[in-house]
């Protein structure tokens, strides 16, 4: 497979180190692109839910792939989120092509792009962190239940379904929180004179334009690699939302065998 050249890729909420992470799918995606810049926009490694006994080879393979990308000339910006907030203590660190930051501002074709995770808008993160942590464990259990249900559903010839998405869509408070989150990001971007604002955190991929008397701004959210398996891509001229599709890649079972036998090099050759 020929790698797609890209200027910038924004990925958020991967949650490496948790059972809900789709590391194999992310690994395939990373090996299919050749970006100049990769922005890991928060919650890349889930420090909150990290367990010593759970770190599959596929999760390590994702890190190796990113290291290989840096060796080949890709700059990687790791922006801190709430699940990896421990890195905020070193958020001015640079190690060669690796930059750890809390936010990132880019000038692209004369337009200002503001990128940050977005947990600063979440009151539960700021004032009741223990409630948020309990909620994250519940979310992880829901993802596990969802995977079991989807396995049975596929065996029965039916499609996949997202339990958490159905719950979010049906609960008015959750819907209102997402709307408020997006509105707050848009208003702040307008006040600061940004043309684009890119967030993560709420696991809701979206590209949305907004305009009022203050000006115009485009809000984007890169989604996540727990449920939606999405990323934002900039090709030098415009932004697009990438959505992972199983049919575009080799089966996961084959990937796992390749990683166990020869590592990510064999994966690249296979694709």
Contact 243, 227 (CB under 8 A): no
Sheet holding 4-11, edge to edge: 94-95, 98-101, 75-79, 33-41, 4-11, 230-234, 239-243
Q: pLDDT by residue (tens digit) across 198-222? A: 999 999 999 999 999 989 999 999 9
Listed as ranges, residues in the chain with pLDDT below 70 are 1, 52, 122-177, 261-271
Beta-carbon count within 10 A of 15 CB: 30
Q: What CATH code would you report for 4-270? A: 3.60.21.10
Mean pLDDT across the chain: 83
φ, ψ (nearest 5 deg) of residue 20:
-80, -10
Q: pLDDT by residue (tens digit) across 134-164? A: 444 455 555 556 666 665 655 666 666 554 5
Of 204, 1, 208, the C-alpha closest to 118 is 204
φ, ψ (nearest 5 deg) of residue 142:
-65, -40
Q: How do the domains of the chain map onto residue ranges?
A: 4-270
The predicted pLDDT at position 145 comes to 60
Spell out a b/e string for 150-186, using b for 16 or more CB atoms within 10 Å of the CB, else e: beeeeeeeeeeebebeeebeeeeeeeebbeebbeebb
Tell me which long-range contacts 28-31 makes (C-beta under 8 A, separation of at least 24): 28/244, 28/249, 28/250, 28/255, 28/267, 28/271, 29/231, 29/242, 29/244, 30/62, 30/65, 30/66, 30/69, 31/3, 31/65, 31/264, 31/267, 31/268, 31/271
The predicted pLDDT at position 35 comes to 98
């Amino acid at each position: 497979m020929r790698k797609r050249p890209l200027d910038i890729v924004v990925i958020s909420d991967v949650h490496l180190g948790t059972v809900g992470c789709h590391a194999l799918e992310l690994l395939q995606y990373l090996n299919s692109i050749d970006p100049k810049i990769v922005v890991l926009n928060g919650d890349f490694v889930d420090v909150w839910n990290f367990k010593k006994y759970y770190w599959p080879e596929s999760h390590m393979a994702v890190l190796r792939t990113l290291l290989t990308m840096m060796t080949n000339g890709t700059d990687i910006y790791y922006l801190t989120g709430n699940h990896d907030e421990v890195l905020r203590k070193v958020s001015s660190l640079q190690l060669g092509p690796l930059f750890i930051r809390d936010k990132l501002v880019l000038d692209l074709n004369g337009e200002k792009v503001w990128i940050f995770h977005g947990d600063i808008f979440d009151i539960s993160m700021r004032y009741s962190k223990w409630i948020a942590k309990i909620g994250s464990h519940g979310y992880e259990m829901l993802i596990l239940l969802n995977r079991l249900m989807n396995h049975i559903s596929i065996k029965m010839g039916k499609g996949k379904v997202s339990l958490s998405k159905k719950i979010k869509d049906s609960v008015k408070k959750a819907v209102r929180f997402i709307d408020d989150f997006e509105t707050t990001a848009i208003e702040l971007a307008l006040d600061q004179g940004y043309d684009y604002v890119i967030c993560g955190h709420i696991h809701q991929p979206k590209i949305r334009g907004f305009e009022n008397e203050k000006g115009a701004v485009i809000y984007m959210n890169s989604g996540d690699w727990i449920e939606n398996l999405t990323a934002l891509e900039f090709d030098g001229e415009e932004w697009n939302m990438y959505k992972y599709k199983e049919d575009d890649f080799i089966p996961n079972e084959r990937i796992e065998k390749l990683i166990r036998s020869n590592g990510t090099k064999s994966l690249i050759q296979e694709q």
